[in-house]
Amino acid sequence: QSVLTQPPSASGTPGQRVTISCSGGSSNIGSNTVNWYQLHPGTAPKLLIFGNNQRPSGVPDRFSGSRSATSASLAISGLQSEDEADYYCAAWDDSLNGWVFGGGTKLTVL
């Protein structure tokens, strides 16, 4: 059981916009910023969004993030086939004094 709650799956067709939610609590998302990661099988996880809504250099602006209270969301617009991957939210937890993650959302591009 993951500390942060994500839907297990999401899907969309090429060109569509999809959003993935992430729900937490006061000790994690409510107190600290949220990061989002993209995982393709067999490769190192990639940082997509940090600080709730900031994109690292090289990440397309099709990816955007937001946070409100104890929830966050990742939006992917102009969906592409290479976006098919697993997506995880993460935040520092002040009670655990460590990182907590969502259970992951498997995105399928139909």
Interaction site with another protein (CB under 8 A): 2, 32-33, 35, 37, 42-47, 50-51, 54, 56, 88, 90, 92, 96-104
For the bound state, the minimum distance from the C-beta of residue 100 to another protein, rounded and expressed in Å, comes to 7
**Closest CA relative to residue 50, chosen from 6, 89, 21, 108:** 89
Looking at the Cβ atoms of 5 and 77, the one nearer to another protein is 5
Q: How many CB atoms lie within 10 A of CB 101?
A: 18
Looking at the Cβ atoms of 13 and 43, the one nearer to another protein is 43
For the bound state, the minimum distance from the C-beta of residue 51 to another protein, rounded and expressed in Å, comes to 4
**Closest CA relative to residue 86, chosen from 72, 110, 73, 105:** 105
Looking at the Cβ atoms of 5 and 19, the one nearer to another protein is 5
The 3-state DSSP class for residue 16 equals: coil
**Closest CA relative to residue 74, chosen from 38, 40, 39, 98:** 38
Q: For the chain, first and last CA: distance in Å?
A: 28
For the bound state, the minimum distance from the C-beta of residue 31 to another protein, rounded and expressed in Å, comes to 10
Looking at the Cβ atoms of 32 and 71, the one nearer to another protein is 32
For the bound state, the minimum distance from the C-beta of residue 42 to another protein, rounded and expressed in Å, comes to 8
In sequence order, what are the beta bridge partners of 51?
A: none
